[in-house]
């Protein structure tokens, strides 16, 4: 079977299982309140981290550097915000892991190093040879 289809089936099953288990421990009202609180806090923190990432990326563009980590980080923050809006504890856990900068660096650090590694070998100039041509020789041609 396709892994996307399996994921689409298993995530709701996992979320329902966690709702039942956690709801049995802390109660239905507290479980629903916890879902809303994590969604609200997550979206506000995603907005904060997204603006910080945008500011850092613009600073790197001003320095004429490639903002590779910021681009990947921005996409991860957007995905994390979507996961935090979706009700559930497993999606909230993954969303919070993607929002915090420390865990994002752990997850995407190696990918960014590989991406930036190719840009460090570029030279800021073009090599070539030239030859001076006298104006008299140029007019004869």
In a domain, 98, yes or no: yes
In a domain, 89, yes or no: yes
Q: What mean pLDDT do residues 93-118 have?
A: 79
Question: In the numeric block, which tokens belong to residue 95?
Answer: 């969303």
Q: What is the pLDDT of residue 116?
A: 60
**Residue 132: in which H helix or E strand, if any?**
none
In a domain, 79, yes or no: yes
In a domain, 123, yes or no: no
In a domain, 8, yes or no: no
Q: How many Cβ atoms sit within 10 Å of the Cβ of residue 52?
A: 14
Q: What is the pLDDT of residue 94?
A: 92
pLDDT(136) > 90: no
Q: What is the pLDDT of residue 58?
A: 92
Q: What is the pLDDT of residue 121?
A: 52
Which has the closest alpha carbon to 42: 110, 94, 120? Answer: 94
In a domain, 21, yes or no: no
Counting every residue, how long is the chain?
141
**81 or 132, higher pLDDT:** 81
Dihedral sign of CA atoms 77, 78, 79, 82 in order: positive
Q: How many Cβ atoms sit within 10 Å of the Cβ of residue 26?
A: 12
In a domain, 27, yes or no: no
Q: What digits encode the pLDDT tens for the residues 66-102? A: 888 888 889 999 999 999 988 899 999 999 998 988 8
Tally of domains within the chain: 1
Q: What mean pLDDT do residues 100-121 have?
A: 72
> What average pLDDT does the chain have?
84
Q: What is the pLDDT of residue 117?
A: 54
Domain membership of residue 76 as a residue range: 35-117
In a domain, 86, yes or no: yes
């Amino acid at each position: 079977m396709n892994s996307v289809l399996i994921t689409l089936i298993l995530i709701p099953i996992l979320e329902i299982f966690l709702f039942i288990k956690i709801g049995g421990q802390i109660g239905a009202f507290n479980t629903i309140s916890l879902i809303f609180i994590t969604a609200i806090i997550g979206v506000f923190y995603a907005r904060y981290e997204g603006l910080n990432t945008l500011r850092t990326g613009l600073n790197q563009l001003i320095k004429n550097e490639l903002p590779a980590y910021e681009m990947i980080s921005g996409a991860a923050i957007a995905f994390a915000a979507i996961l935090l809006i979706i009700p559930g504890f497993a999606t909230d856990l993954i969303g919070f892991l993607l929002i915090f900068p420390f865990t994002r660096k752990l997850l995407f650090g190696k990918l960014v190093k590989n991406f930036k590694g190719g840009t460090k070998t570029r030279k800021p100039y073009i090599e070539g040879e030239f030859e001076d041509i006298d104006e008299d020789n140029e007019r004869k041609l």
